[in-house]
Structure 1
Amino acid sequence: MSNNPLSLPESTIVDCNVPKNAFYKRESGSRKNALRNFLTDSVEEIRWLYKLHPSTLHLAVGTQVEEIDIFLCTLKEAPYDTEWLRRMDALMPRPSLFLIAYEGCIDLLIFPRSRNAQGAMVQTGRMEQQIDVDLKKSPISIVGYSMDAVYGNLLGQLSQLGTNTVEEYLAKADLRDQIHTLRKKCDTLRRKMRKEPQYNRQCEIRRQVRQLEKEIERVEDLL
């Protein structure tokens, strides 16, 4: 694989091997051994591909994001457990984007972060993932005049929500999750309605479904 698979500016390329213990040495207790086993058994190699930083992108310093690191994780086998990748990301001091290489495929994963009251960058919300991307089509781009804008835009690209700031991403991601929850409730009610033998109860459940469908339409209009 090229040392610039995402076709990012040459100034951002690091392309160096990262020892696996750089991740699991940050862990503690029983989880340290579990993470070490995952990295040993499932991961062939980890490379630090890019450093997105004001000094490498010639952008303004962000108030939320100082740096974004991009790693390539080459796996020994698939499928893979994204929860271990989530743990690896949580142990790092800065936001990270992961390229996951397996069986000729490349996935992109990012675990959204925002600053908490203590000023630490903590994971916020669910993982954003794109499966089997075509690197020849340059799946991500650097957009924005500051690191905050670059990060917000990356979240918008990976989630396909089209956001430009972290705040916009978090707001839209929340609406997306609301829609997902409402649709699950609709599916549950429809299954219940099909099994309900009493007509009057069927009518009541159908009314509840219609109410949820209207709520889904309302939230979708906000997305």
Structure 2
Amino acid sequence: MTDLLYRWPAAAKFGRPVPKAKFYEHGTVSAAVREGFVADVRRISWAYKLAEATINVPGSAAVSEIQVFQIDAKGDDVAEPVLTAIDRAVKTPIIFEITHGEGTGRGIRMTAAPKQAGSGTPKVGTYFTTDWQPEDVERQPLPTVITLPALYTALLEPLIPVSARPGEEMSDLAARLEAVRELEREIASLERKIRTEPQLNRKIEIRRALKTKQEELEQQR
């Protein structure tokens, strides 16, 4: 994790409160997730809208805008199913900033999941997050890019344990991340098999397969 927070442009400030019930209207939100909204969330603010009209950076069909939602937590944090429900209700990518605590003890973290919009409900990946930091921590300027898809990739890249390749958009980075995770699972399984396999010839075969998977993993990273 990292301690990065971004300094969002004043021109992109939106500052609109969003009722929690608004997200229940989109798709099927289970009773447990509704309870999560009630238990975890004090208020939700649609804080910034990063778009061509606000920051003069052109978008695309895949990333026409990027939203920044600020959530004030009632307790220590906000559960991921609540974030996922919000993400699925909004077509465009969202960067979340979650705050908790009171007074000088207030903390903040940034979290987001790679998101791919389609004709139906957006596909939301795994959430990645910064560490908790003091709310008044110094923020960093936005990455210098020329398109919103590139900005989306650059905003999330510090959070994700895979480095973006030149020109790589978030959809490709997310797919590569899933491939990395699958290879890591396969490697862990092969390593367990080596430890328990009694036959030497089978150990040699498994080691050969393990080496192949490790090489594939290095290529994906």
TM-score bucket of the superposed structures, by smaller chain: 0.7 to 0.9
User: Residues 39 and 209 of structure 1: is their aligned pair in 2 closer, same or farther, counting only changes over 3 Å?
Assistant: same
Cα distance, 1:61 vs structure 2: 4.8
> CA distance change for structure 1 residues 93 and 124 in 2, over 3 Å: closer, same or farther?
closer
Q: What is the SS of the residue equivalent to 1:148?
A: helix
Structure 2 counterpart SS, 1:77 = coil
State TM-score, norm by structure 2.
Answer: 0.77
Secondary structure class of the residue paired with 1:94 = coil
User: What are the Cα deviations for residues 130-176 of structure 1, in whole angstroms up to 9, with x where unaligned?
Assistant: 333577342561533343333343243443634676x5333233233
CA deviation after TM superposition for structure 1 residue 70, in Å: 0.7
Distance in structure 2 (CA, Å) of the matches to 1:173 and 1:91: 20
Q: For structure 1, list consecutive stretches of 5 or more residues without a partner in the other structure.
A: none
Aligned residues of 2:149 and 2:170 also touching (Cα < 8 A)? no
Give the corresponding residue for 2:181.
180
Q: CA deviation at 1:53?
A: 2.2
Contact kept in structure 2, 1:11 and 1:56, CA below 8 Å: yes
1:109 aligns with 2:105: no
Map 1:4-83; keep pairs closer than 5 Å.
6-28=6-28, 31=29, 33-78=31-76, 80-83=78-81
Q: 1:138 to 1:190 in 2, by over 3 A?
A: same
- Secondary structure in structure 2 of the residue aligned to 1:44: strand
Runs of 5+ in structure 2 lacking a partner?
A: none
The answer for the alignment partner of 1:92 in structure 2 is: 90
Question: 2:167 matched to 1:143?
Answer: no
1:153-168 mapped onto 2 (5 Å cutoff): 153-159=154-160, 161-162=163-164, 168=169
Shift of 1:86: 1.0
Q: Distance in 2 between matches of 1:84 and 1:21?
A: 12
Structure number with greater CO (CA < 8 Å, separation at least 6) is: 2
Deviation at 1:67, TM superposition (A): 2.2
**Contact 1:66/1:147 (CA < 8 Å) preserved in 2?**
yes
Report the more deviating stretch, 34-43 or 60-69. 60-69
Q: TM-score scaled to structure 1, two decimals?
A: 0.76
Deviation, structure 1 residue 60: 3.2
1:188-199 to structure 2, matched below 5 A, reads: 188-199=189-200
Q: Aligned to 2:95, what secondary structure does the other structure show?
A: strand
Q: Is the 8 A contact 2:23 2:85 kept in 1?
A: no
| Residues 64 and 115 in structure 1, CA contact (< 8 A), matched pair in contact too | yes
Once the 2 structures are TM-superposed, how far is the Cα of residue 108 of structure 1 from its aligned partner?
1.9
CA separation of 1:100 and 1:140: change in aligned 2, threshold 3 A: farther
Which deviates more from structure 2 when the two are superposed, residues 42-51 or residues 155-164? 155-164
Contact 2:84 2:124 in 1 (8 A): no
Secondary structure, in 3 states, of the residue corresponding to 1:62?
coil
